[in-house]
A and B are shown apart, each in its own frame.
Chain A
Amino acid sequence: MTPTSSSELTAAPGGTPSAGPIAQNAVRPRRARAVGLTVLRKVGAAVVVLWGAATVAFFAQLALPGDRATTILNIRAGQAQARTPEELAQINQQYGLTRPVIVQYIDYLRGLVSGDFGTSYQQYRPVTVIIGEQLGSTLTLSLVAIAFAWLIMVVWVTLTAGRGPRLGGVGSTVDVVTAGLPAYWLGIILLLVFGLGLHWFPIISGTSPAGIVLPALTLAIPLAGFMAQSVRTEFERSLEQPFVLSARMRGMGEWGIRLRHVLRHAVIPAVTLSGWALGATLSGAVIVESIFSRPGIGSVLVSAVNSQDLPVVTGIVTLVAIVYVAANLIVDVVYTVIDPRLELT
């Protein structure tokens, strides 16, 4: 990380003695403005992506083959049969299907903005209510899984990175292999070993705290492997930095150096990945909830896909996209604000 000319300009308090208070005051508002503009641009780009995602979701609902009112009735009945005009008229009325597509589209967008995701074809209830009942469970699973992944990754990398070719090789091989493990298989192995074999954890994950351990580990282990790959590279690079040498000369022990100096630099790529990790665990929940018979938006999604209940499917998919984009935006904005090297243009 070599200092650039702009970093000297913007490196806030202290400054060089010659810069003095006047120069500093001149720089601060300019930096604030540059940061503000960059953040605004990023928010704008995220809004465009979300609008696009909503558009995709809307047209996905139109893409069901055949007459929509007939399809909705068939989905409800679970079988295809001829419908009377009266039945169709009622559905057309309820979902406003006879209006021009553009009107339906604008209505849909307006609904999304005010938190209305439409009505389920099958359950006769608003999609937001259906999602709302299940979201807490899935979100808890996601966050616990991310916390586990961090714990596993930090311990594993600190133990194995930069320890010579043999141990380091084992470490990085384990990273690659665990990152590639399919969630369904890992989940079943954990279930067989720790649930059915050792009886440490319940087989069916209910709402008890013990029930979340195996599902969360199923999501956490591949995630940890993935984060460990990037953190390991950074960790080994940091171990060769001058500040490590200087810490060694001050008599600091190997563990102290690793935990207090190196780790802090090495985890930065994993922080960058946290937005992605949230999206990955939310979508991985689809499989994990199915294995452990755990309630959540994942199991709702699978049954909605099975019954072609598209408002529920698009609602959940759009919601995950929103969470994913928002999380990435937050990471991005935080970086912009804390990075002193932001170009002043």
Chain B
Amino acid sequence: MTALGTPPVAATRAAALGTRLARAPWGLYLAIAFAALLLVAVVAPQALTTHLPTAIDYQAALRPPSLAHPFGTDESGRDLYTRVVWGARDSLTIGLGAAAVGVGLALILGTLAALGVKPVAVVVDRFVEIMFAFPALLLALLLIAIAGPSAATQVLAVGIGTAPGYARMIRGQILGARDSGYVEAATALGHSRWRIVRAHILPNALRPLVAVFALSVGQSIVWASSLSFLGLGVAPPASEWGALLDAGRQYLTTAWWLVVIPGLVIVAVALAATTIGRHIQARLEKGER
């Protein structure tokens, strides 16, 4: 959602905004089209490119965007457009992986904090509260300091960094469902605790999770590329987008496209993920009413 992190009250506001965004479906179509394009880039990058990402041509080094090289070329004359397309696989894998780790961990912690037996719930709740005191980026940096920079650490660090925020959100959802009228009715009917949890609380509380996951993918890609940008993620030979940014930084004064264009791609992916996530959220809420 933001490069700065999710504030504690984001959920309801995002929902209100979602309905507003949902009224402009062209944004949604654009986002879906872009997502489809990304999927092609991940599965078959050669279908979208004419060069190879590693094809070096010193004659054409640091060329600005042109017809032959729509995104320009880097210091070794490699075509930036090709590198961006081929980098989609790394970037999206890291983004999806981190989102899966983050939301998965949050699901476990949030459910335990809301529905666990008393001592477990209290301890988990406090633990989430404590982890939430660390801003996501700093928590990620702490993990990288311990494990050393690598793609795997990056996925874990971003996932663990963002998990406390989502865990709080999921806990809130479950508690909301638990205190609702239909759960009260089920309790009055004498249904067992487990049956109520399984049949009423979880399905209702976890439905928004699809939207949360979509939002989290966009956010995770931004976080992960931030780490690469700081030189603490995937190393530059890879064409992961954050690594492209980091490699392009030293040519900032002479070759702006090396940083601006990969950055623009990341922003576009994050926006597309947010648009799709909010649309799902809005649809779910309309269904509930």
Please tell me which one of the listed residues A229, A280, A320 contacts residue B4 in the complex, with CB atoms under 8 A apart. A280
Chain B residues within 8 Å of A308, by CB: 145-146, 148
Sample (23) of A-B pairs whose CB atoms are under 8 Å apart: A52-B130, A53-B133, A176-B17, A180-B2, A180-B3, A180-B218, A180-B271, A188-B249, A192-B260, A196-B252, A219-B4, A222-B2, A223-B4, A279-B135, A283-B135, A284-B3, A287-B230, A302-B232, A305-B145, A308-B145, A313-B145, A317-B138, A321-B133
Contact A325 B133 (CB under 8 A): yes
Interface membership of B196, Cβ < 8 A = no
Within 8 A of A (CB), among B1-55: 1-5, 7-9, 13, 16-17, 20-21, 24
Asked if A305 and B144 sit within 8 Å, CB to CB, the answer is yes
* Interface residues in A, total, Cβ within 8 A: 65
Partner of A276 from the list B8, B134, B266 (CB cut-off 8 Å) is B8
A283, B230: Cβ atoms closer than 8 Å: no
A128 at the interface (CB under 8 A from B): no
B276 at the interface (CB under 8 A from A): no
Counting CB contacts under 8 A, is B103 at the interface? no
Question: A63 on the interface (CB 8 Å rule)?
Answer: yes
- By secondary structure, the B interface counts as helix
Distance of A177 from chain B, by nearest CB (Å)? 7
For the complex with contacts A56-B130, A172-B20, A225-B2, 15 further pairs of A-B residues with Cβ separation under 8 Å are A49-B129, A57-B142, A177-B271, A180-B3, A182-B263, A184-B3, A188-B260, A280-B5, A286-B138, A287-B226, A302-B232, A305-B141, A305-B145, A314-B142, A324-B133
Closest 5 CB pairs of A and B: A52-B130, A185-B263, A283-B135, A280-B4, A182-B3
Q: Which residues of A contact B225 (CB under 8 A)?
A: 182, 184
B134 touches A182 (CB 8 A): no
Q: Is the CB of A301 within 8 A of B141?
A: yes
Q: Which residues of chain A come closer than 8 Å to B131, judged between CB atoms?
A: 56
Query: B4 touching A50 by the CB < 8 A rule?
Result: no
B137 in the interface (beta carbon within 8 A): yes
- Chain B residue numbers with a CB within 8 Å of A272 are 9
Contact A185 B130 (CB under 8 A): no
- Nearest chain B CB to A250 CB, angstrom units: 31
Tell me if A230 is interfacial: C-beta within 8 Å of chain B: yes
B11 to chain A, nearest CB (A): 12
CB of A7 within 8 Å of the partner chain: no
Q: Which of A112-167 contact B (CB under 8 A)?
A: none
CA distance A191 to B253 in the complex (A): 10
| Residue A212 CB within 8 A of the other chain | no
Using a CB–CB cutoff of 8 Å, the interface residues on chain B facing chain A are: 1-5, 7-9, 13, 16-17, 20-21, 24, 126-127, 129-131, 133-139, 141-142, 144-146, 148-149, 218, 222, 225-226, 229-232, 245, 249, 252-253, 256, 259-260, 263-264, 266-267, 270-271, 274
Q: Which of A179, A183, A230 contacts B226 (CB 8 A)?
A: A183
State which residues 162-212 of A face B: CB under 8 Å: 169, 172, 176-177, 179-186, 188-189, 191-192, 196
* Closest Cβ neighbor of A309 among chain B residues: B145
The residue among B4, B21, B136 with the most chain A CB atoms within 10 A of its own CB is B4
| Chain A residues, Cβ within 8 Å of B260 | 185, 188-189, 192
Indicate which residue in A180, A229, A273, A287 contacts B267 across the interface (CB closer than 8 Å).
Answer: A180
In chain A, positions 17-65 with a C-beta closer than 8 Å to chain B are: 45, 48-50, 52-53, 56-57, 60, 63-64
Return chain A residues, CB-CB under 8 Å to B245. Answer: 184-185
**Do A276 and B230 form a contact, CB below 8 Å, given A192-B256, A192-B260?**
no
Q: Does A267 contact B (CB under 8 A)?
A: no
Does A214 reach chain B (CB closer than 8 Å)?
no
Nearest residue in B to A314 (C-beta to C-beta)?
Answer: B142
- B1 with A180: CB separation less than 8 A: yes
- The residue on A at minimum CB distance from B148 is A308
Closest residue to B2 on the A side, CB-wise? Answer: A179
Instruction: Tell whether A233 pairs with B16 under 8 Å between CB atoms, given A305-B232, A310-B146.
Output: yes
- Chain A's closest residue to B21 (CB) is A176
**A196 lies within 8 A of B13 (CB):** no
| Given A172-B20, A176-B17, A185-B267: A49 and B230 interface contact (C-beta under 8 Å) | no
Taking the nearest CB of chain B, how far is it from the CB of A160, in angstroms?
13
Q: Are A304 and B145 in contact (CB under 8 A)?
A: yes
A235: Cβ under 8 A from any B Cβ: no
CB < 8 Å neighbour of A324 from B135, B267, B271: B135
Contact of B9 among A63, A223, A273 (CB under 8 A): A273
A186 to chain B, nearest CB (A): 8
Distance in angstroms from A195 CB to nearest chain B CB is 10
Q: Is A96 close to B, CB under 8 A?
A: no
Given contacts A60-B146, A191-B252, A286-B230, contact A182 B5 (CB under 8 A): no
Residues from chain A with Cβ under 8 Å of B146 in the complex: 60, 63-64, 308, 310
Q: Report whether A226 and B127 are in contact in the complex, using a CB–CB cutoff of 8 Å.
A: no
Q: Which of B130, B136, B222, B252 has the most CB of A within 10 A?
A: B130
Query: Is A4 an interface position by the 8 A CB rule?
Result: no
The A275-301 residues at the B interface (CB cut-off 8 A) are: 276, 279-284, 286-287, 290, 301
Partner pick for A49 among B133, B145, B232, CB 8 A cutoff: B133
Given contacts A233-B13, A283-B135, A182 and B230 within 8 Å (CB-CB): no
The residue in chain A whose Cβ has the minimal distance to the Cβ of B146 is A63
For A182, the closest partner residue in chain B by CB is: B3
Interface contact B274-A183, CB-CB below 8 Å: no
A326 to chain B, nearest CB (A): 10
B80 to chain A, nearest CB (A): 15
